[in-house]
Amino acid sequence: MAIFKGSGVAIVTPMKENGDINYEVFEALLEDQVAKGTDSIVVCGTTGEAPTLDDPEHLEAIKFTVDVIKGRIPVIAGTGSNNTAHAVMMSEEAEKLGADGLLLVTPYYNKATQDGLYAHYRTIAAATKLPCIVYNVPSRTGTNILPDTMVRLAKDTENIVGIKEATGNIAQVAKLAALADGCVDIYSGNDDQVVPLCALGGLGVISVLANVAPKETHDMAMAAVEGRFEEARAIQLKAIPLIDQLFCEVNPIPVKAALEMQGFKVGAPRLPLTVMTEAHQANLRKAMVEFGCL
């Protein structure tokens, strides 16, 4: 059974001016997501600035999310690392804290072979009973988990159940879907490809867009999953200009700026990320107004 279907928000981590996590704003964001129909919370992923969270605050953010959500929708914790032992430790701790699933990015910088990726994920999965979603984002990690490897992992490992596919390569997704024949739950990791990926059998999206347009992202993803493609396509195409602006600078710079525009005091990203340029903010604001989320 899938961890979720529809829209999983890759939620930002709000920060105070001193750089500490702003839990008051975090709670407001989480409640807003639940109220507007988001199907799952993905905490401490790329959008949540996991690379600059130390272990105690990373785990505290996971625990806080679990405590606020209280089982209303699944909480998926980002616990991946390029250090297999560290990913094991973080995954074990996330399970103890009550997470419903794990999101595990492919190892970055090391550039593992396909056999290395297989061994890495098998080792993490063996340390937990939680369902695991592999996060394939070669543009950030320099490593691409190939369809054959992903299917091998899913068939050999009971709790490796899905993949967040952010290669942007629909041909690779199609090959994966064909080889998997239903043994891998496929989620789009790109907001601009939700409908085509679901047309190939995907179950939804792990989304940046959902931070600022949760209802619309849920509606688009569920319509696509349920085969209502005309409805899904209309939302997908309307959202393209906004999605473009949400990725005109590296994520999560623009989405934090967008949430500030909506009145959520999420603060600036941690260095080495910086505040969005004024010119880009103007374009983002225009796209948000045109989409109807501002």
pLDDT tens across 240-276, in order? 999 999 999 999 999 999 999 999 999 999 999 999 9
Q: Do 14 and 26 contact (CB within 8 A), yes or no?
A: yes
Asked if the bond preceding 107 is cis, omega within 30° of 0, the reply is no
Establish whether 135 is a catalytic residue. Answer: yes
Establish whether 5 is a catalytic residue. Answer: no
Among 135, 155, 175, 256, which one carries the catalytic annotation?
135
d(CA 111, CA 118): 13
d(CA 38, CA 255): 17
d(CA 203, CA 243): 20
Is it the case that residue 60 has pLDDT exceeding 90? yes
d(CA 188, CA 202): 7
Mean residue pLDDT across the chain: 97
Is it the case that residue 133 has pLDDT exceeding 80? yes
Among 5, 164, 187, 256, which one carries the catalytic annotation?
164
Q: Note the helical H segments in 53-141.
A: 55-69, 84-96, 114-126, 138-141
Confidence of residue 177 (pLDDT cuts 50, 70, 90): very high
* Helix, strand, coil percent values for the chain (each to nearest 5): 50, 15, 35
Is it the case that residue 110 has pLDDT exceeding 80? yes
d(CA 223, CA 234): 10
- Can you identify the CATH homologous superfamily of domain 6-225? Aldolase class I (3.20.20.70)
